[in-house]
Structure 1
Amino acid sequence: MRSFTIPLTGLALALGLTLASTPTAHAQQSAPNPQFDAELAKKLGADQRGMRRYVMVVLKTGPNKMAAGAERDAMFAGHFANIKKLAAEGLLVTAGPFDGVDGWRGMFIFAVNSIAEAQALTATDPVIQNGEMVAEYHIHYGTAALMEIPALHQKLTPTLQ
């Protein structure tokens, strides 16, 4: 397969365009957004791109799998209570289980700036405290709209949880 290049000016001339008359991608991207809500962006911690920093925590099977029974049930009740508490505080924006393949059990996405902060929050969870699961931490830069997930979730569940 052969490849060839055409200088940009040659391509523009071939298309009957002048470089001065073609809008740049930058100019197109900097047009004001009529839907922009400065108050909401501030509330959610959005930057100029509508994004913010999070820490994603991958929960994996730990070294101390607890046998089925009352103690395990209590541990998981504490796990879910901790999730609910952290979400209510605005620190946990989403959490949920994985399919267990390769020991991947679940994840948290925390609205914090550092792995150290996420480690401190994760350490409050009974599944971590008991060694049922271990945590792996990753910085994530994503849409600030994730901050709305807990409030939206409450509108989707017919019973209090």
Structure 2
Amino acid sequence: MKSLFTILSLILFSSFSNAQNKGFDQKLADSLGADDYGMKSYYLIILKKGKAEITDKAKKAELMKGHMDNINKLAKDGKLIVAGPMAEKNDNNYSGIFILDAKTKEEAESLVLTDPSVKSGIFDMEIYKWYGSAALPFYLKSHDKISKIKF
């Protein structure tokens, strides 16, 4: 009797664990490159303080304007999914992050190197493959609707 209960419990549990999402949209999942869990691989870039010491304020301002322009271009091109600065100083000298939609680590690195603040050495980078929701690109469209000031 105990064995029969165990077998029935396993069958019942497995039917719940493989249950299909009733709101699943195959066309949307395919358009976003989602796997069966609604996830996909991205590249997480951690920007950290670089070795360059640029003391010319006008030059540094120009490079940071280029940094923001590049962020906007990568977002418009659908390559940059998330970006933002660290909210506070930290022991690792991390300055901010990017999450990029790139096929390879080499592609992600080449995208980051389009940033003049990285090329100049203001920022250095660490690159990691990261697994997250394939729906992340939708947040940028919502963000445009809630931000009063555009970068």
The normalised TM-score by structure 1 is 0.84
The residue aligned with 2:98 is: 108
Structure with greater contact order relative to length (CA < 8 Å, sep ≥ 6): 2
- 1:49 partnered with 2:37: yes
Distance across 2 between alignment mates of 1:24 and 1:58: 44
1:70 shift after superposition = 1.1
Instruction: Give per-residue Cα distances to partners, 1:14-59, cap 9 Å, x unaligned.
Output: xx96123213543212212111111221221111110001000000
**2:52 matched residue in structure 1:** 64
Distance 1:155 1:140 in 2: 27
Root-mean-square deviation (Å) = 1.8
Q: Indicate the SS of the match to 2:67.
A: helix
- The within-5 A match list for 1:93-104 is 93-98=81-86, 99-101=88-90, 102-104=92-94
Which amino acid in 2 is paired with 1:135? Answer: M
Number of aligned residue pairs: give it: 148
Q: Match for 2:116: what amino acid? A: P
TM-score w.r.t. the length of structure 2 is: 0.90
Corresponding letter in the other structure for 2:6: L
**What's the offset of the Cα at 1:160?**
3.7
**2:135 is matched with which residue: 130, 133, 145?**
145
Range that drifts further, 18-27 or 38-47: 18-27
- Rg comparison, structure with higher value: 1
Provide runs of 4+ in structure 1 moved above 4 Å. none
Q: In structure 1, what is the Cα distance between the partners aligned to 2:63 and 2:26?
A: 42
Q: Deviation per CA, 1:67-108, whole angstroms, max 9, x where unpaired? A: 261111111000000000000111000000112312100110
> In the alignment, does 2:121 pair up with 1:131?
yes
- Give the gaps of 5 or more residues in structure 2: none
Structure 2 counterpart of 1:74: 62
